[in-house]
Structure 1
Amino acid sequence: MKEKLTIGEMAKLRNLTTETLRHYDRIDLFKPQYIDPHSGYRYYSIYQYEILGTIKELRQLGLSTDEIKGYFDERSFNNSLELLTFKHLELVSKLKELTDLEENIREKISYLKQVEKEDEEKEDEEKEVIFRKIKSRKLITLNENINNNLQLCYGVIKLENMLNEKAPILASNRLGIIIKEEDLRLHKFEEPSVIFIVAKNKQRIPKKHQRTVPGGLFACIRYNGELLWNRSESLAKILNHLDKHGYRIKGDALQIMYVDITITDKPNEIKFEIQVPIEKV
């Protein structure tokens, strides 16, 4: 064991690179303690280990080199406690954000795998009307009609800005539009529609932007294509199916973006699902 260490020895001892130590030297953050008067060689002291260790820890906590300089200029018990307390709160907040983001992404992956499985199992049922029971859902809506793709883009942004989630609402089956019951009955399939997001339980949204869709039996159909508005054929097929089997509409329909443009650029892979609430005549 020795007291004086070369830059390579100190770097190896603290698991740093020599370039990192040279950088700290250049900015006057951590400098060698000894200079040989004859050779000019610079040496660190083993007793400087604590300072370099503290620098490493503070860098791990996200402090800049200027902030670390300021810390060493006024290092004291109270300042250290205050700094660690602040950084701990900051880390807890970041952990929560990462946890929420991980949960969101995990749900998206699970959803997309389910879509993949359904596509493999129900390829023959595509574009056919099926009846499904769906639970009650709470929607978040701007209560504004969407007439074209330009308005749709701005509508999605407004809705996302209302949420406290850490990942976009796309790449899920939560975004869609409301098709009015009256328009369905009159076969006005291309009328302007209200955009919505299916809310999560933890969302806190003003009541004026909330809407509940009752659970029950729905006539559903899926279709592929780039445009949200190309739904006339599918809606006509649903209404014909209802007439044929003795059912009627009992509320507004939902058109869900099932697989959207954040997942694929291929038009034949983009998928929508229309869900029409029904009851027996």
Structure 2
Amino acid sequence: MASLRGVTTETLRHYDRIDLFKPQFVDPDSGYRYYSIFQYEVLGTIKELRQLGMSTDEIKDYFNERNFNKSLDILKAKHTELVSKLSELHELEEDIRGKIGYLEHVSKEKELQSVFFREIGRRKLITLNEKINSNLELSYGVIRLENMLTEKTPILASNRLGIIIKEVDLRAKRFEEPSIIFAVAKNKEKIPKQCQMTIPAGLFACIRYNGELLWNRSESLSKIMEYLDEPGYRITGDALQIMHVDITITDKPNEITFEIQVPVQI
């Protein structure tokens, strides 16, 4: 019977022990279990229901006073559950594929500590509107932001997490001031209005640097501000500091990378 249905003999012994699928006859002397070929339908149904993710208790209920309407209702409920799981898996696959593509792109990006310009589209940010003063506050902030999202994968290692550097602090060269943490939202997210912020599309002066700490940005900010002090450049808003490669990807400090983006007009 095990061979005919493609299951193990231990599976049949287990089903016997839990009273799910019992042999037609057990030899009292040898203990051998004997099955009738006419039991093939029940074992086949059990195998199918297990493949659908049903527990043995659910399958017992399925066989208890089985009738057409009951079986149909159970299968419809299980189908709804499977569709939901497939949707979750599809979303998870999209997120992982996006992260892989992003990290492959990062590996080919421009060298560190060089100012370059990039056109970036409109972004909707989720922010707690609270300033972050330490790595401890940053850790709690990331968790709180993730809990506001509906997606299944963490937002780390995705260039969607960062801090806002206020324009007034940029101009005053107060580069170590506490900053507001944010995450870039997806369009489908339903976020309270008080936690939303929109960054218009436009041109950004950018610079990348590496190191373990989010706060070690003074050198990079000084360099980009000196560059923008030249005639012809005008800062048009708050800067963003994006985590590009973080501690979820590497333990090596020289591989952890941040990018600062300053909105400008030329």
When normalised by structure 2's length, the TM-score is 0.95
Q: What residue in structure 2 maps to residue 5 of structure 1?
A: none
Identity of aligned residues (%): 75
Q: What residue in structure 1 maps to residue 180 of structure 2?
A: 194
1:71 aligns with 2:62: yes
The C-alpha deviation readout for 1:15-61, integer Å capped at 9, x for no partner, is: 01111111111222111113457866431100001111111112112
Change (3 A) 1:36 1:179: closer
- Using the alignment, how far apart are the partners of 2:7 and 2:123 within structure 1? 54
1:213 aligns with 2:207: no
Q: What residue in structure 2 maps to residue 183 of structure 1?
A: 169
Q: What residue in structure 1 maps to residue 116 of structure 2?
A: 130
Question: What's the Cα RMSD here?
Answer: 1.5
Residue pairs, 1:82-231, within 5 angstroms: 82-118=73-109, 122-123=110-111, 126-231=112-217
Change (3 A) 1:244 1:29: same
- Using the alignment, how far apart are the partners of 1:181 and 1:196 within structure 2? 16
How many pairs align?
266
The C-alpha deviation readout for 1:136-167, integer Å capped at 9, x for no partner, is: 21111111111111110111011111111111
Q: What residue in structure 2 maps to residue 22 of structure 1?
A: 13
> Where in structure 1 do 4 or more consecutive aligned residues deviate above 4 Å?
35-41
Change (3 A) 1:242 1:17: same
C-alpha deviation, 1:274, in angstroms? 0.4
The residue type equivalent to 1:57 in the other structure is: E
- Using the alignment, how far apart are the partners of 2:248 and 2:89 within structure 1? 21
1:274 aligns with 2:260: yes
- Using the alignment, how far apart are the partners of 1:154 and 1:136 within structure 2? 27
Extract unaligned runs of 5+ from structure 2: none
Please say which of residues 38-47 and 222-231 is displaced more in the overlay: 38-47
1:251 aligns with 2:237: yes
The residue type equivalent to 2:73 in the other structure is: E
- Using the alignment, how far apart are the partners of 1:153 and 1:38 within structure 2? 65
1:46 aligns with 2:32: no
The structure with the largest alpha-carbon Rg is 1
C-alpha deviation, 1:279, in angstroms? 2.2
Q: What residue in structure 2 maps to residue 3 of structure 1?
A: none
SS, match of residue 80 in structure 1: helix
The residue type equivalent to 1:279 in the other structure is: Q
Please say which of residues 140-149 and 199-208 is displaced more in the overlay: 199-208
SS, match of residue 247 in structure 2: coil
Please say which of residues 93-102 and 242-251 is displaced more in the overlay: 242-251
Q: What residue in structure 2 maps to residue 11 of structure 1?
A: 2
Please say which of residues 40-49 and 170-179 is displaced more in the overlay: 40-49
C-alpha deviation, 1:277, in angstroms? 1.0
- Using the alignment, how far apart are the partners of 2:30 and 2:203 within structure 1? 89
